[in-house]
Structure 1
Amino acid sequence: MLIFAHRGVSAIEPENTILAFRAACTANAYGIEFDIHHVDGQLIVIHDRYLDRTTSGSGLLIEHTFAQLRQLDAGKGTIIPTLGEVLTAVANQCVINIELKGMEIEDISILFKCLDNAKKVLKLNFKNILLSSFNHHLLQAIYRQRPEFSLGALTAALPLNHAKFAQQLNAYSVHIVVDYVCAEFVLDAHQRGLKVYVYTVDKLSDIKRMKVIGVDGIFANNPKQAQLHLNQLNLK
């Protein structure tokens, strides 16, 4: 079972920062997961639409300029990074799952430009990139324009037709919340040729259940601890 560092090693370092992502690489996580928003012409790495929880700022993210956002403390004196900066820090060290949050279909070209630049400058291997979103229209548009990118279809519920929606999106993987994933969903997804990744999984009891029902990967806030839990289960 693969382990992704959820927003980096967010249990220890400030989430969605270079510190958290480097810690994930040091912990030998299979991959990192982070969120991007399009703000003021830039793709920035942050989860919330509001600044209050994770930065020294306040209010709506989109009501600030890029220059204003760069003045904020994102934890331990770090700044809110751009997608380009994160790719520079971790390119080809692990799988990179980019969750597209504050983006519209017309913003896709900016994403492609950033990834193409990283491929040229950093020798970024697109096989290590996984683009995911709850916005399935966005995923559909990406597939139509750039089918070479692997897609992760997100759901926060248990759909009536299980993983059919992800198959219809030509996704590589389906990402489902830990509260709703079940053996039937995993079986259905696997029969459709999909990987099943589950968020957010930190407790030993949840890791054990994920192993029992056969999920392919989990998103954990502390990937090193999650791996220790998994190792204990594998020894039994």
Structure 2
Amino acid sequence: MGLEPENTMRGFRRALELGCKMIETDLHLVDGELILLHDVRLDRTTNGTGGLADISLEDLRKLDAGKGEQVPLLTELLDLCDGKEVVLNLEIKGAGVVGPMLEVLERYPLQQVVVSSFDWKQLRECRELAADLPLAVLVDAPELVCDSVGIFEELGAVSWNPGLALFDDASTKAVVDEIHDLGGKVYPFTVKTKEDLESVVEIGCDGAFVNDPIAVEQWLK
């Protein structure tokens, strides 16, 4: 559970107030607009029901995403962060996102971004269209770890973002070392407890995705 409703402008503003160095969000395309929402269904994070594919942008923006917040647009987040020292980690969730995303990012040339996805085909499309775009490879299935390192190297990615469950495997430390040898960073998801934090520190990770940065700051003391 985060400090504010996830993927909302209220949450993003709070992250900036707390001095977070990176903000992660999730991209889908609705009626030609890039919106920020984690799930393909509306039920968990809004007062709506049904699938994202079955709602118009106009109706989506009428929903409550928590504490009276709208489901935001990518451009709203980019406007909020314009000129600020924060990296935006944009996770591609839905289909058809890459082209529109790159068009939007061209209007914000100074904004630091990293584009991540579990869908490596879309990461390949990003690389084909934007040779210098920083990419991050997401993986949470043990059987895909080796392939994910290959994709990381193929794409010249900047970070490898594994699910925290992979840290139960003793071989993960070797993969972390391999990513470092390739010049990359390792940012696992999602640290929720002090024990989670201790495990990522012990294994040599460079950072982590968290829901509660205040708690993490206290654990680090």
Match of 2:149 among 163, 166, 191: 163
Give the superposition deviation at 1:169. Answer: 2.2
Give the superposition deviation at 1:161. Answer: 5.5
| Cα separation, 1, equivalents of 2:148 and 2:25 | 25
| Cα separation, 2, equivalents of 1:212 and 1:164 | 24
Aligned to 2:64: 73
1:189 partner amino acid: I
Question: Which piece of structure 1 moves more, 176-185 or 25-34?
Answer: 176-185
| Cα separation, 2, equivalents of 1:188 and 1:213 | 12
* Residues 102-150 of structure 1: CA deviation (Å, up to 9, x unaligned): 123xx4221111111233xxxx33xx20000011111111111111210
Aligned to 1:7: none
Aligned to 1:6: none
| Aligned-residue identity in percent | 34
Tell me the TM-score normalized by structure 1: 0.86
Aligned to 1:114: 104
Match of 2:211 among 216, 221, 236: 221
Aligned to 1:56: 47
Q: State whether residues 162 and 185 of structure 1, in contact with CA within 8 Å, keep that contact through their aligned partners in structure 2.
A: no
User: What is the aligned length?
Assistant: 214
Give the superposition deviation at 1:227. Answer: 2.0
Matches within 5 A, 1:81-230: 81-91=72-82, 92-104=84-96, 107-119=97-109, 124-125=110-111, 128-158=112-142, 159-160=145-146, 163-181=149-167, 182-230=172-220
1:180 aligns to what SS in structure 2? helix
Aligned to 2:10: 19
| Cα separation, 2, equivalents of 1:15 and 1:72 | 14
Q: State whether residues 139 and 148 of structure 2, in contact with CA within 8 Å, keep that contact through their aligned partners in structure 1.
A: no
Runs of 4+ in 1 over 3 A off after TM superposition: none
1:16 partner amino acid: N
Task: Compare the two structures and name the one with the higher strand fraction.
Answer: 1
| Cα separation, 2, equivalents of 1:103 and 1:115 | 17
Aligned to 1:4: none
Aligned to 1:30: 21
* Residues 50-95 of structure 1: CA deviation (Å, up to 9, x unaligned): 0001001100001111001011011111100000001111233411
Give the superposition deviation at 1:228. Answer: 2.0
Give the superposition deviation at 1:152. Answer: 0.5
Give the superposition deviation at 1:160. Answer: 3.5
Structure 2 unaligned segments of length 5 or more: list them. Answer: none
